[in-house]
Amino acid sequence: MANTGTITAEPAPITLDWSKTALVIIDMQRDFMEPGGFGETLGNDVSQLARAVQPIAAVLAAARDAGMLVVHTREGHLPDLSDAPPAKVERGAPSLRIGDSGPMGRILIRGEAGHDIIPELTPLESEIVIDKPGKGAFYATEFGDILQKYGIENLLVCGVTTEVCVNTTVREANDRGYRCVVISDGCASYFPEFHEMGLKMIKAQGGIFGWVTDSAAVREALAD
């Protein structure tokens, strides 16, 4: 593999050193993707997220072939809810709250079936899994330290949902100096219009938070 590759992206193509680049897959968990989980308890149509699975799987396979650092994140809380702010648990009018028992175990709790990453994207033993209590991957996690340890400067970001955990993580990363390239078809939202706007916000104003590309462009750049 050449050390660098150029990805067709908006607002402009970007050349990355692959040895300083990580693939970051955000929250592809059963709790968001499947009926009976956190996403559905909030009243969302979880079928809206399925479209991101195949593009992520394709990029994940290419990243594994290339020997790229792969990081998966999971949103969730400790069983005693000590890391779940009451303001988060109490919010809205869900059918089940965080910590309540649902068909995939306790909602959004670490160790429960719903907290698992979907089988199509199961992490390898060698890959990093970051458990996060918030929407962003940096808040109250070891994510930043791990990126520094591996000398990472660039993030290829995908996952769910576009406007919540993907956008929050990209904004956190951008402020910390990382180049973020978001894979449009590898992200999804319960609200298609939020997906579109979430991507537009990233690439607007000359790429104020980062770049937006698609899975085919990433695979092509890696293959080159």
Which residues form the catalytic set?
A: 27, 132, 165
Q: Widest CA span of the chain, in angstroms?
A: 51
Among 9, 18, 32, 33, binds ligand C5J (CB under 6 A): 32
**Considering only CA atoms, which of 13, 42, 4 is closest in space to residue 161?**
42
Binding string, residues 121-140; x marks residues near ligand C5J by CB under 6 A = --------------x-----
Q: What is the helix (H) or strand (E) element at residue 171, kind and residue range? A: helix 167-175
Q: How far is the CB of 15 from ligand C5J (least distance, A)?
A: 29
Residue 71 DSSP code:
E
Instruction: State how far the Cα of 60 lies from the Cα of 66, in Å rounded to an integer.
Output: 10
79 phi/psi in degrees, rounded to 5: -55, -30
Among 69, 71, 147, 164, binds ligand C5J (CB under 6 A): 164
Burial of 196 (0-12, 13-18, 19+ CB in 10 A): middle
Q: Which two tokens stand for residue 80?
A: 């005693």
Q: How far is the CB of 127 from ligand C5J (least distance, A)?
A: 18
Binding string, residues 3-22; x marks residues near ligand C5J by CB under 6 A = --------------------
- Residue 75 in the binding site for ligand C5J (CB under 6 A): yes
Among 49, 68, 160, 182, binds ligand C5J (CB under 6 A): 160
Residue closer to ligand C5J (CB basis): 68 or 164: 164
Beta strands in the chain (DSSP E): 4-7, 14-17, 21-26, 69-75, 101-102, 105-106, 128-132, 154-160, 179-188, 211-213
Q: How far is the CB of 186 from ligand C5J (least distance, A)?
A: 14
Q: Which two tokens stand for residue 174?
A: 């951008």
Q: How far is the CB of 75 from ligand C5J (least distance, A)?
A: 5
Residue closer to ligand C5J (CB basis): 105 or 133: 133
Residue 85 CB neighbour total at 10 angstroms: 12
Which range of residues in 13-21, 45-53, 88-96, 160-168 is near ligand C5J by CB under 6 A?
160-168
170 with 162: CB under 8 angstroms?
no
Residue closer to ligand C5J (CB basis): 48 or 161: 161
Which residues lie near ligand C5J (CB under 6 A)? 27, 32, 75, 135, 160-161, 164-165
